[in-house]
Amino acid sequence: MSTNSLPKRYLITAALPYANGLKHIGHLAGAYLPADTYVRYLRAQKRDVVFVCGSDEHGTAIPIQATKEGTTAQAIIDKYHPIIEQNFKDLGISFDIYHRTSAPIHHETAREFFKTLNDKGDLITKESEQYFDETAQSFLADRYIKGTCPNCSHPGAYGDQCESCGKSLSPDELINPVSTLSGNAPIKKLTKHWYLPLDRHEAFLRKWILEEHANDWRATVVGQCKSWIDGGLLPRAVTRDLDWGVTLPDDVVDGKGKVLYVWFDAPIGYISATKQWALDNEKDWKPYWESKDTKLVHFIGKDNIVFHCIIFPVMLQLHGNILPENVPANEFMNLEGDKMSTSRNWKLEMEDYINDFIKPENGGSQMADVLRYYLTAIAPESKDSEFTWKGFQDANNSELVSIFGNFVNRALVLMHKLCKGKVPPLHAAAMDELDHETIANIKAAKEKVEKLIEEYKFRDALFEVINLARIGNQYMQKKEPWIIAKTLDTNPDGQQLIDNCLHICLQLTGNLAILINPFLPFTAKKICYLLKVVDRILDWENAGSLKLVSVGYSLRPPELLFRKIEDEEICKQVEKLKAAAVHKEVTPAVEAKQEEKAITVKPEIVFDDFAKIDLKVGTIVSAEKVEKADKLLKLQVDLGFEVRTIVSGIAMHFDPAAIVGKQVTVVTNLAPRKMRGIESNGMILMAEDAVGKLHFINPETAIDNGSGVS
């Protein structure tokens, strides 16, 4: 916040998009657009700034998706990385580098990072009770192990909990453990996992965030961090048993077959991207990550707060890097009355907008600026906001076109008509109070915009730019040069008044170009073209100047900056959105949050194994939500010979009232288990589709309850 000691350099990051699909305008508005605006402003200030981003290409979701699509993980990331990169380019997001975490330099960087922390003793290892199934050739998650409970001697206890006595267990405690995958006794292969002991750093985080940044970080960011810190920080696993990701350094004992957990490797992607940029540009990357006089800012969405404010800073600090000076997280953007959702296909992808609007015949790059304008104007800086096509149209037609575009156009048209196509001189003697006031307003606009951008208030800053155009319209209206022009015969001094008015309007137009440049770069360029000035005048230091266009210079014939958007166009978009939407069965169907579930290609079983499972058809006779649990429904299922209570985690997908009477397939001989205090006697079979929606497995036509399934 100290304005007298400017940072020597800036490092700006925008959240790494996960390369498993296309990104929508919510992502754009949340992180990339504000980051780009900030960076363009800094560049115009001639500050030393690097803007890095890249695709996040690891984690389990990508191999899972690859399996679903019948392809390889590599193919998935190779498909999406270039498209995402191009989308950003088309929308004017000006990364200095758009990198990817599959790049070798990233793997090296992440490994080095891990090694440094590990060698210093900043990571702890836990040789967790990992059993290994030799038949299945994989480590066994706790719940895939059964054995005798040490507490109550129940023979069917799971590795994480005994159903019988309810005691929480670790697999190590089980007597006679058996793998549920193969039925064999697992061997106790010591698998080591590395953890980042966040608990060691509570004092540091408390001081750094809750004291030092209590006032200059956004309330939602500080609040979220406080919530985490107060909740008690726990060691967080840094490694996983997986074959997709950054492998551990070779010399790490027991590191074979393990990769870095994606949350650990992804943010390091900012560093590796910076390194690659430095290589490409013959620069030194180190000061950007190590020098205290670098200002680091992370632009992210609110779902990313803990990683960028708690976890990554701890990593950076341990590794000897600088910490972010701010993390201006945005809230979310809704679309036409509903949350944006990939699974329900309720979204506007950047790609779609580009295809539908940024075509030469539609206005080309100018239409990229229109989206940039609206998204900034409704940026979810302090609370969730909403994109509507009507709002988009209004913002364009009545602000960009009518106020901003129209001012520039009428200034140029009038100049051509009344000043012979040349920039008229300013006659100091003929200036009045309004002229001086308007000039003062131009200078004031610069100060306001500057201050607001520095505070990450881009929405307000953009408003001030539009407001300067409004001031221009008011000024022109009061001056009425077109009226004066009619009386020139009787009033020869009138030309001086006309000259002054248009001189000031043209200088104001030049200022608009400078001020709008961080927000709408294509528009700024176009104004430069119309004014026949070089792009260099866009340097921020020229803002407030009254010498942007030279007297006597002849300018180009006027061209419109923006076109109107017709009702027809937005109706089409709304229809398109609704037509593509996947209908949800119940209210807030959760986003298919590609959970961290490993793809288990289960080992072959024999018929006897299958025969152990007792499957029967039953009918749901009642269903109710379980108190204090979002996902659980308590069901009464009629199995013909009895009615059972079954608790099932399907509340997010089905309305309790709507599923009564439905037939389902039930595993009837599953050991009872308590959930939220209710004993569940069985399990309902569900199928999960590609977008994470659940479907009942039931007979084609209703049959008797209790019918066996085989």
Partner RNA sequence: GGCGAGGUAGCUCAGUUGGUUAGAGCACAGGAUUCAUAACCCUGAGGUCCCGGGUUCAAAUCCCGGUCUCGCUACCA
194-253 residues in contact with RNA (CB under 7 A) are: 219-220, 223-224, 226-228, 230-231
* Contact (Cβ atoms closer than 8 angstroms) between residue 390 and residue 453: no
Supply the minimum distance, in Å, between the C-beta of residue 505 and RNA.
Answer: 9
Supply the minimum distance, in Å, between the C-beta of residue 5 and RNA.
Answer: 24
> Which residue, among 309, 285, 289, has the nearest Cα to 298 in the 3D structure?
309
* Contact (Cβ atoms closer than 8 angstroms) between residue 560 and residue 409: yes
Rounded Cα distance, 380 and 334, in Å: 9
Q: Is residue 517 at the binding interface for RNA, with CB under 7 A as the rule? A: no
| Subset of residues 324 to 353 that bind RNA, contact rule: CB under 7 A | 331-332, 339
Supply the minimum distance, in Å, between the C-beta of residue 627 and RNA.
Answer: 7
Stretch that binds RNA, among 130-138, 181-189, 205-213, 382-390 (CB under 7 A): 382-390
| Pairing outcome for strands 175-179 and 157-158 | unpaired
* Contact (Cβ atoms closer than 8 angstroms) between residue 574 and residue 389: yes
Supply the minimum distance, in Å, between the C-beta of residue 67 and RNA.
Answer: 18
First to last CA, the chain: 69
Q: What is the 3-state secondary structure (H, E, C) of 526-545?
A: HHHHHHCCCHHHHCHHHCCC
Supply the minimum distance, in Å, between the C-beta of residue 477 and RNA.
Answer: 4
- Structural tokens at position 8: 């020597």
- Structural tokens at position 454: 């520095």
Closer residue to RNA (CB): 287 or 649: 649
User: Taken in order 398, 399, 400, 406, is the CA torsion positive or negative?
Assistant: positive
| Pairing outcome for strands 708-709 and 643-648 | unpaired
Supply the minimum distance, in Å, between the C-beta of residue 406 and RNA.
Answer: 4
| Pairing outcome for strands 175-179 and 643-648 | unpaired
Closer residue to RNA (CB): 268 or 310: 310
Closer residue to RNA (CB): 183 or 287: 183
Binding mask 522-561 for RNA (x = CB under 7 A): --------------------------------------xx
Binding mask 8-47 for RNA (x = CB under 7 A): ----------------------------------------
- Residue count, binding to RNA (CB under 7 A): 76
Stretch that binds RNA, among 24-32, 239-247, 378-386, 546-554 (CB under 7 A): 378-386
- Please pick, from the candidates 47, 167, 200, 563, the single residue that binds RNA as defined by CB under 7 A: 563
- Please pick, from the candidates 143, 292, 436, 612, the single residue that binds RNA as defined by CB under 7 A: 143
| Subset of residues 294 to 323 that bind RNA, contact rule: CB under 7 A | 302-303, 305-306
| Subset of residues 637 to 696 that bind RNA, contact rule: CB under 7 A | 647-649, 670-671, 673, 675-676, 680, 683
Q: Which residues of 227-251 are buried (b: 16+ CB within 10 A; e: fewer)?
A: ebbeeebebbebbbebebbbbbeee
Supply the minimum distance, in Å, between the C-beta of residue 239 and RNA.
Answer: 18
- Please pick, from the candidates 127, 134, 384, 704, the single residue that binds RNA as defined by CB under 7 A: 384
| Subset of residues 257 to 276 that bind RNA, contact rule: CB under 7 A | none
Closer residue to RNA (CB): 339 or 576: 339
> Which residue, among 192, 193, 190, has the nearest Cα to 236 in the 3D structure?
193
> Which residue, among 560, 530, 518, has the nearest Cα to 367 in the 3D structure?
560
- Structural tokens at position 312: 């990554």
Residue 43 three-state SS: helix
Rounded Cα distance, 154 and 162, in Å: 8
Supply the minimum distance, in Å, between the C-beta of residue 563 and RNA.
Answer: 6
* Contact (Cβ atoms closer than 8 angstroms) between residue 135 and residue 184: yes
- Structural tokens at position 693: 């929606």
Closer residue to RNA (CB): 546 or 598: 598
Closer residue to RNA (CB): 52 or 198: 198
| Subset of residues 579 to 638 that bind RNA, contact rule: CB under 7 A | 588, 626-632
Stretch that binds RNA, among 87-95, 145-153, 374-382, 517-525 (CB under 7 A): 374-382
649: burial class by Cβ within 10 Å (0-12, 13-18, 19+)? middle
| Subset of residues 393 to 422 that bind RNA, contact rule: CB under 7 A | 394-395, 397-399, 401-403, 405-406, 409-410, 413-414, 417
* Contact (Cβ atoms closer than 8 angstroms) between residue 102 and residue 75: no
* Rounded to 5°, angle at Cα 474 from 466 and 523: 30
- Structural tokens at position 347: 């979204």
Closer residue to RNA (CB): 278 or 306: 306
Closer residue to RNA (CB): 22 or 685: 685
> Which residue, among 91, 85, 79, 83, has the nearest Cα to 29 in the 3D structure?
91
Closer residue to RNA (CB): 82 or 156: 156
| Subset of residues 470 to 509 that bind RNA, contact rule: CB under 7 A | 470, 473-474, 476-478, 482-483
Closer residue to RNA (CB): 413 or 574: 413
- Please pick, from the candidates 209, 268, 378, 577, the single residue that binds RNA as defined by CB under 7 A: 378
> Which residue, among 114, 111, 101, has the nearest Cα to 276 in the 3D structure?
101
| Pairing outcome for strands 131-133 and 48-55 | unpaired
Closer residue to RNA (CB): 384 or 437: 384
Closer residue to RNA (CB): 315 or 565: 565
